[in-house]
Amino acid sequence: MELDLKLDSSNCTSEYLETQEVVEAIKGHLTIAMPKNPHGNIRVLFNCDPLITATPSETCLQLNSIGEAELPVMFHAVPTKSGMVASLRVEVSVVTMLAGTCSMTRHFDLPLQLVASLSVPVREAHIKVTLSTNQPAANLVHLFQDFPVEDSMSNVIAFKHRNGTIVSLLVSKTTNKYRLQSDSLAALALLVEGLQRRLRLHFSEAENLQVNLDSPFPIQEIWNQVESHYTLYTELRKEMMKLGQTSRQFQIIQRVFHNKILNTKTIDLTQGTFTAVQLAQDHVSRCVQQVELLQEVSVINKAQVVGSSH
């Protein structure tokens, strides 16, 4: 079974429905080609970073006579002051019923403009990473043609993430090295991954291109991320246990309240139980909110840990 994807996209701004904020977005048309499945029915699912939302996240399509379908799609960067997008890679899964249920997966990368914009470089940063290649140093104007980079920025450039974190990139033409520095490991990891991809594309005709890490690996920063994630995981487990206990208490109070209603018509006998039910429900609601908050933060932190380790 063959599956080809092609995304024609452009930048735009759109209102994020949950917060009604105007955020950066990527809109485009995704062309799905399955030549051996004309007129077939398929299901398409998108899997993105926790801080990127695909619209639609899943849908059903029917291929035309040549086995193609076009899907309008939009990707939003979820507004947040603390989280950081760890990866711009989108996983597309296509499920078809041809010759039995069959699932295929393809990947593509969203433009960096979705989560970052040009900024003023910073001289000092807490975390520094150096990459080296066996090719002459590339001009940043050519590497980042999708950004309005001026000729004066051929050796140094900086990107500002939506939460304000800045990543600076400096190029040494004498040593063919690229230094990236930032105060955020997650922001740095995203740019390191993007720079490697751009270098491979820029030197696609070069034989035996090598991109190497030429600086100590930031083990301590990664360990700090792991510890933070474990702390959140522990708090989440505690809140889940508390939620389970309060839910059981709530069910017991409900049964008592129900039995009193069946056995008596005196309001005074049920008034205290009804108040207890309300208090128990409020307690359960607070536990649910706390669990949902910790789950959201834990997922984002886990994505940053995984992205940083890559």
CATH value at residue 97 = 2.60.40.10
Do residues 15 and 101 both lie within one domain?
Answer: yes
For residue 216, pLDDT beyond 50: yes
Domain boundary among the residues 110, 137, 161 is at 110
Do residues 94 and 18 both lie within one domain?
Answer: yes
**8 A C-beta contact, residue 84 and residue 163:** yes
Query: How sure is the predictor about 281, in pLDDT bands with cuts at 50, 70 and 90?
Result: low
Do residues 50 and 85 both lie within one domain?
Answer: yes
For residue 267, pLDDT beyond 60: no
The closest of 235, 188, 232, 236 to 213, measured between CA atoms, is: 188
Query: How sure is the predictor about 300, in pLDDT bands with cuts at 50, 70 and 90?
Result: low
Average pLDDT over residues 93-103: 76
Do residues 121 and 94 both lie within one domain?
Answer: no
**8 A C-beta contact, residue 130 and residue 177:** yes
Q: What does the block give as tokens for 114?
A: 């979705």
SS3 (DSSP) at 179: strand
Q: How many domains does the chain have?
A: 3
CATH at 303: 1.10.287
Domain boundary among the residues 110, 131, 153 is at 110
Do residues 133 and 206 both lie within one domain?
Answer: yes
**8 A C-beta contact, residue 70 and residue 96:** no
**Domain encompassing residue 130:** 116-217
- Global confidence as pTM: 0.68
Element (H, E) at 195: helix 185-202
Do residues 168 and 127 both lie within one domain?
Answer: yes
**Which pLDDT belongs to residue 276?**
65
Do residues 132 and 62 both lie within one domain?
Answer: no
**Which pLDDT belongs to residue 131?**
92
CATH at 198: 3.30.310.200
Do residues 52 and 89 both lie within one domain?
Answer: yes
Do residues 25 and 69 both lie within one domain?
Answer: yes
Q: For 161-190, what is each residue's pLDDT tens digit?
A: 888 889 999 998 888 899 999 988 888 888
Element (H, E) at 256: helix 219-263
SS3 (DSSP) at 89: strand
Query: How sure is the predictor about 306, in pLDDT bands with cuts at 50, 70 and 90?
Result: very low
- Least reliable range by pLDDT among 8-12, 228-232, 244-248: 8-12
Domain boundary among the residues 171, 202, 217 is at 217
Q: For 114-162, what is each residue's pLDDT tens digit?
A: 888 898 888 888 888 999 998 888 889 889 888 888 877 778 999 998 8
**Which pLDDT belongs to residue 147?**
87
Do residues 208 and 229 both lie within one domain?
Answer: no
Do residues 8 and 103 both lie within one domain?
Answer: yes
Do residues 182 and 229 both lie within one domain?
Answer: no
